Amino acid sequence: MGRTGTIFLAAMLFVPLAHAASSTDHLNVFNNMAQETVECAAYFGIMSVALENSNDTEGAKKYKEVMLNALKRAAMVTEKAGLKPETVHARFQIAADDMMKRIDKNTSNVSILMTHYKEPCIEVMTDVEKRGRYWMERGLKRFEDGLPR
């Protein structure tokens, strides 16, 4: 994660959310970001295998590298969410198993995953600030939706 991403994550941890319902709101943001990053790591891992199966070893290598970076980031964000480190592995396994079921364990069907994961996962890895804002705004909307009118 770059300097900007690290600064953003640190700010999210130490600066209370505006209009926050409780002190755990920032933990929910980190939890959601960690979950999403782990899902993206699983997606990148499956993409790596798909490219390997199609004899694109260079592409497979790049996706595997992105998967490993996503797992490192997920571990960091998981820690900021106050979760146990083992959560990353468990979530990764669940996500990978789910994705493999969706494509019937056939990497030729990987386009099924691409329609759902490609764009958000690219954003997860390239614009952490935007994803953080997404999860903060989503949490704030849930809070506002629960307020009496």
Question: What is the 3-class SS of 54-123, one letter each residue?
Answer: CCCHHHHHHHHHHHHHHHHHHHHHHHHCCCCCHHHHHHHHHHHHHHHHHCCCCHHHCHHHHHHHHHHHHH
Q: Report yes or no on 139 lying in a domain.
A: no
Classify residue 144 by burial, with Cβ atoms within 10 Å: 0-12, 13-18, 19+: exposed
Q: Residue written as tokens 């992105």?
A: 66
Number of domains in the chain: 1
Q: Report yes or no on 136 lying in a domain.
A: no
Neighbouring residues of 118: CB distance < 8 A, sequence distance ≥ 6: 43
Q: Report yes or no on 132 lying in a domain.
A: no
Phi-psi region of 55 (alpha: psi -120 to 50; beta: other; left: phi over 0): left
Q: Report yes or no on 58 lying in a domain.
A: yes
Q: Report yes or no on 143 lying in a domain.
A: no
Contact indicator for 34, 71 with CB cutoff of 8 Å = no
* Average pLDDT value for residue range 55-65: 98
List, as own/partner pairs, every contact residues 87-91 make where C-beta atoms lie below 8 angstroms and the sequence separation is at least 24, other chains included.
87/34, 88/34, 88/38, 91/34, 91/35, 91/38, 91/39
Is the predicted pLDDT of residue 22 greater than 80, yes or no? no
Q: Report yes or no on 51 lying in a domain.
A: yes
Domain holding 60, by residue range, is 23-127
pLDDT of 146 reads 67
Q: Report yes or no on 100 lying in a domain.
A: yes
- Residues of the chain with pLDDT > 70, as a percent, come to 79
* Average pLDDT value for residue range 24-47: 92
pLDDT of 141 reads 73
Q: Report yes or no on 48 lying in a domain.
A: yes
pLDDT of 5 reads 58
Neighbouring residues of 146: CB distance < 8 A, sequence distance ≥ 6: 21
